[in-house]
Amino acid sequence: MDANIVILPGDGVGPEVVGAACQVLEAVAHTGGHHFHYDEHLIGGCSIDRHGTALTDDALQACQAADAVLLGAVGGPQWDNPTAAVRPEQGLLALRKGLGVFANLRPVKLYPSLLDASPLRPERLAGVDMLVLRELTGGLYFGQPRGRSQDGEHVRVIDTLEYHDYEIERIVEMAFQLARQRRNKVTSVDKANVLDSSRLWRQVTVEVHRRYSDVALEHMLVDTAAMRLVASPANFDVIVTENMFGDILTDEAAVLPGSMGLLPSASLGSGGPGLYEPIHGSAPDIAGKGIANPVGTVLSAALLLRHSLRLEKEAACIETAVEQVIASGRWTADLGGKLSTAEMTAAILAALN
């Protein structure tokens, strides 16, 4: 297979972990006889410094024309001023919008050898293996009207939670399809006892479920879901939810395995290139030290192979190699080990071979 992959290393540890993931992609391409062409662009703070904008039109067009996009992370203390006219996160938002990706997928899996790294007791963690789908384009973060005004002697603020039925339908449909490839269960998370938007979410979910009656569906209020994620996380298979609930629940789920450095994500739309990135940020506290855990980005590359290039066997090989390395106790500092980014990457490459 020939594929064009745009690489956006970004800021902080981004270039370190993306470099590791590219080595793994190259190893897989070599073994499978594939040709991956890489096109590297700036995003985030480094793009602001060079071009005055967090993502240039050129970079966005390259991403739109690619088969897939692999991103590191954006941001850092030097660009942290929340009132600045240009900010690193603007690059991410422009990229998500420009690619039309509406579903953020975060698989959360526990590694038996790392149970002690989790904040939960080991007996609560056995069998945890879930996929959280967060809606990315609607809800409170984008609804209009929004803003702040003076109301007599008080300040008044408005945010609007808006969804159209089609926005709910497309992500719920994706959740059912993905559940069929897993343990056949979808938990749809809402706040239908209070919010109209959640009542529409539930109604559309029930309608879509008619086409997927082989998949078990449960509805769960977001407060209950937040509790169950720590009380009985192994009961979840696929979770699907709206933007802000997903923002919060994905971070809650992300701490279960014990380190931010372990988890990958994929952002997908209808056709078009997918966007793949680790869930962590630019980790400025360890940037440049060569100790960042590359696993989240390496596993993001595996998701890229699975969802954008349909190379399931190759994706599974990378996941197995990572599992073997972690099971053998070869860990980076965030997991309590001593390996550098380069050594961890070398161990994964060796396991692949």
Q: Which of 49, 196, 251, 289 is catalytic?
A: 251
Using the rule CB under 6 A, give the single segment among 119-127, 140-148, 279-287, 310-318 that binds ligand NAD. 279-287
Minimal distance, residue 104 CB to ligand NAD, in Å: 11
Q: Is 141 a catalytic residue?
A: yes
- Residue 247 is a catalytic residue: yes
Contact by Cβ (8 Å): 275, 95: yes
Active site residue 223: yes
Beta pairing class for 264-269 and 271-278 = antiparallel
Q: Catalytic residue among 223, 289, 313, 338, which?
A: 223
CB of 277 to ligand NAD, least distance (A): 6
Q: Which tokens belong to 337?
A: 């080990």
23, 197, 250, 282: residue in contact with ligand NAD (rule CB under 6 A): 282
Task: Based on the shown chain and the rule CB under 6 A, indicate whether residue 260 belongs to the binding site for ligand NAD.
Answer: yes
SS3 of 44-71: the string is CHHHHHHHCCCCCHHHHHHHHHCCEEEE
Does 274 engage in binding with ligand NAD (CB under 6 A)? no
- Determine whether 11 is an active site residue: no
The residue whose two tokens read 């992370």 is 73
Across the strands, what pairs with 151?
Answer: 154
To the query of whether residue 276 is one of the catalytic residues in this protein, the response is: no
Backbone phi, then psi, for 110, in 5-degree steps? Answer: -95, 145
Hey, what are 224's tokens? 């209950």
Counting every residue written for the chain, the total comes to: 353
Q: Which stretch binds ligand NAD (CB under 6 A): 123-131, 168-176, 267-275, 288-296?
A: 288-296
**How crowded is residue 193: how many other Cβ atoms within 10 Å of its Cβ?**
9
The set of catalytic residues is 141, 191, 223, 247, 251
The residue ranges that bind ligand NAD (CB under 6 A) are 13, 17, 73-76, 92, 260-261, 277, 280-286, 292-293, 296, 334
